């Protein structure tokens, strides 16, 4: 035989890996299986936790290299938790996912929120709508140019996505407050109010599942987020305008821990909009508006029940109005809660074509009456009830309410598995951050004699 090759000195990384390889080989031998290769040891994932294991925090989760094996693990985790692999009798636990408008309407009904069911209006509410909301505008009030502008802009707005379409039509149909500092010509501005987009209403006032069976089937209602929300301006917003605030500092302190929205007080008009270019329609908007209205009605109901515990809250005091539109048509709705019941109703007050100027003018008349009532008798009734409400708070008779959200809930990928896979993605060659696994390659040092 030829001369034996001289032994090579092991590098530090090789010598540190030797004990681990020997240990792995011993374990493999005990299990009567062939020795495990270093590559197998590196790429084999740890045992998967049971499906009901709690999620680990992102900080405590080890980083995984972006390898083919780890990508396959992610795909398998997503497939194992796909809704198609669940039993057909079990619905997805996500409260925001329904198959279509019909199922969304069924879910609302399960939570006792009835939409467009042709339910007769409460007599007091019917009288209020007839005498206050439908009251004709005075003959000496000049005709606003906003109806003509709405008709002129409708076709172009209907070609846009939802947010762009809203921005073109909504200012001419609805209102702004003095504190909103709107510079658009002829846009109606009113004292004491504020209009905001994407307001996250307090989920603490959502209707609850009436029993365990409903909860197991439908989980919970999704958090309400109207496209626009009009309510009373806060003192902080009013001071920046400047504009007049409807509540004193002491009154705002009383209302602070019982807020339905973080950025305004007692909303009275919300809206949900859809674009003709989307896969959603007026029915989708009405289903979303039903949640908005139910939350606001419940908030008002609890407020007046705490202020006047010796009498039932008035349907008129606790009702809410909303608008739905697909940029071609507009619908006005009223929301209320039946006396002595937790049943919610949402019925249409009227509907209008945005192609016809006389229709738009009539719609704006109704909406303006809603706003005038809100800054008049409605506001006066709320302010009169605040002292009694504050007394009930001091006696501990008002349930604690978590503050409303101010931002969108996170839509993380945690539903893909019981344990998130935290990948280390390659950093750019110019990155200098510590912990990078893909920084610039180290140049080889030339060997002596090369």
Q: What is the pLDDT of residues 253-307, one digit of tens each?
A: 999 999 999 899 999 999 999 999 998 999 999 999 999 999 999 999 999 999 9
The answer to whether 329 and 99 have CB atoms below 8 angstroms apart is: no
| Burial (CB count <10 Å: 0-12, 13-18, 19+), residue 406 | exposed
pTM score, whole prediction: 0.70
CA 230 from centre of chain: 17
Among 373, 378, 286, 368, residue whose Cα is nearest residue 333: 286
Average pLDDT of the residues in 379-404: 93
Residue 132 binned pLDDT confidence (cut-offs 50, 70, 90)? very high
Question: Is 418 domain-assigned?
Answer: no
pLDDT at 88 over 90: no
The answer as to whether 322 is a domain residue is yes
Give the separation between CA 177 and CA 193, rounded to whole angstroms: 5
The DSSP H or E segment spanning 295 is helix 282-307
- Determine the pLDDT at residue 63: 67
Angular region, 174: left φ>0, alpha ψ -120 to 50, beta rest? beta
Chain-wide mean pLDDT for the chain?
A: 80
pLDDT at 137: 85
pLDDT bucket at 404, cuts 50 / 70 / 90? confident
Residue 31 belongs to a domain: no
Confidence of residue 363 (pLDDT cuts 50, 70, 90): very high
Which residues are bridge partners to 190 per DSSP?
177
Q: Are 145 and 185 in contact (CB under 8 A)?
A: no
Q: Judge whether residue 17 has pLDDT over 70.
A: no
Per-residue pLDDT, averaged over 115-120, amounts to: 97
Block residue for tokens 């908007």? 285
Contact call for residues 299 and 129 (beta carbons, < 8 A): no
**Strand extents, DSSP E, 138-264:** 176-177, 189-190, 193-197, 228-232
How much is the average pLDDT of 24-48? 51
Higher pLDDT, 227 or 418: 227
Question: How many domains would you assign to the chain?
Answer: 1
Residue 63 forms part of a structural domain: no
On whether residue 390 sits in a domain, the answer given is yes
What range defines the domain where residue 333 resides? 108-394
Tell the residue number behind the tokens 């419940």, with chain if given: 298
- CA distances for 431 relative to 115, 154, 424, 440, angstroms: 55, 49, 14, 8
Q: What percent of the chain has pLDDT over 90?
A: 58
- Residue 21 CA, chain-centre distance (Å), reads 52
Instruction: Write phi, then psi, for 64 (nearest 5 degrees).
Output: -115, 140
Q: What is the DSSP pairing of strand 113-115 with strand 329-337?
A: unpaired
Structure tokens at 40: 């197998």
pLDDT of amino acid 391: 97
On whether residue 255 sits in a domain, the answer given is yes
Q: Which two tokens stand for residue 376?
A: 């008049």
Residue 129 pLDDT > 80: yes
Mean pLDDT for 67-95 is 55
**pLDDT tens readout for residues 169-197:** 999 999 888 888 776 655 677 899 999 99
Find out whether 218 and 111 touch, Cβ atoms under 8 Å: yes
Confidence of residue 89 (pLDDT cuts 50, 70, 90): very low
pLDDT of residue 421: 39
pLDDT band at 400, cuts 50/70/90? confident
CA 127 → CA 123, 150, 270, 407, distances in Å? 6, 30, 22, 39
**1 has pLDDT over 70:** no
For the record, the structure tokens of 388 come out as 């009694």
pLDDT > 70? residue 342: yes
Rg (C-alpha) for the chain, rounded Å, is 31
Asked whether the predicted pLDDT for residue 76 surpasses 70, the reply is no
pLDDT at 386: 98
- The answer to whether the Cα torsion of 225, 230, 236, 241 is positive or negative is positive
pLDDT more than 70, % of the chain: 68
d(CA 372, CA 175): 11
On the question of pLDDT at 415 being above 50, the answer is: no
pLDDT at residue 153 in the model: 96
Query: What DSSP line would sit under 106-174, residue for residue?
Result: HHHHHTTEEESS-PPPPHHHHHHIIIIITPPPPTTSPPPTHHHHHHHHHHHHHTS-HHHHHHHHHHHHS
100 inside domain: no
| 377 found inside a domain | yes
With cut-offs at 50, 70 and 90, classify the pLDDT of residue 201.
Answer: very high
| Whether 290 contacts 112, CB under 8 Å | no
């Amino acid at each position: 035989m030829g001369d034996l090759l001289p032994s090579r000195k092991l590098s530090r990384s090789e010598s540190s890996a030797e004990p681990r390889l020997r240990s792995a080989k011993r374990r493999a031998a005990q299990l009567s299986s062939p020795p495990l290769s270093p590559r197998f040891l590196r790429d084999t994932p740890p045992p998967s936790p049971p499906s009901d294991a709690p999620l680990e925090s992102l900080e405590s989760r080890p980083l995984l290299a972006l390898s083919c094996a780890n990508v396959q693990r992610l795909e398998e985790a997503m497939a194992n938790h796909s809704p198609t692999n669940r039993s057909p009798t079990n619905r997805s636990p996500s409260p925001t996912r329904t198959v279509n408008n019909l199922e969304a309407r069924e879910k609302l009904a399960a939570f006792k929120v009835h939409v467009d069911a042709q339910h007769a209006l409460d007599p007091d509410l019917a009288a209020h709508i007839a005498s206050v909301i439908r009251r004709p505008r005075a003959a000496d009030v000049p005709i606003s140019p906003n109806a003509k502008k709405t008709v002129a802009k409708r076709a172009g707005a209907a070609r846009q996505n939802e947010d762009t379409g809203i921005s073109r039509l909504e200012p001419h149909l609805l209102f702004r407050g003095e504190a909103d500092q709107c510079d658009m010509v002829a846009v109606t501005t009113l004292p004491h109010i504020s209009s905001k987009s994407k307001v996250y209403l307090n989920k603490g006032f959502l209707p609850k599942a009436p029993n365990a069976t409903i909860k197991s089937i439908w989980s919970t209602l999704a958090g309400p987020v109207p496209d626009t929300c009009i309510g009373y301006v806060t003192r902080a917003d009013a001071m920046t305008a400047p504009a007049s605030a409807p509540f004193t500092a002491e009154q705002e302190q009383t209302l602070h821990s019982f807020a339905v929205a973080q950025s305004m007080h007692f909303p009275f008009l919300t809206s949900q909009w859809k674009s003709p270019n989307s896969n959603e329609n007026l029915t989708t908007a009405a289903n979303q508006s039903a949640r908005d209205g139910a939350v606001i009605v419940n908030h008002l109901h609890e407020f007046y029940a705490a202020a006047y515990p010796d009498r039932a809250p008035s349907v008129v005091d606790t009702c809410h109005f909303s608008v739905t539109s697909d940029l071609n048509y507009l619908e006005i709705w009223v929301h209320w809660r039946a006396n002595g019941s937790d049943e919610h109703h949402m019925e249409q007050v009227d509907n209008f074509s945005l192609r016809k100027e006389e229709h738009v003018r009539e719609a704006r008349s109704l909406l303006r009456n809603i706003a005038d009532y809100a800054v008049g008798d409605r506001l006066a009734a709320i302010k009169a009830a605040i002292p009694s409400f504050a007394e009930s708070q001091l006696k501990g008779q008002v349930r604690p309410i978590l503050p409303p959200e101010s931002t969108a809930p996170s839509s993380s990928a945690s539903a893909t598995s019981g344990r998130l896979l935290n990948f280390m993605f390659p950093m750019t060659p110019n990155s200098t951050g510590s912990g990078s696994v893909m920084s610039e390659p180290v140049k080889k040092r030339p060997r002596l004699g090369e």
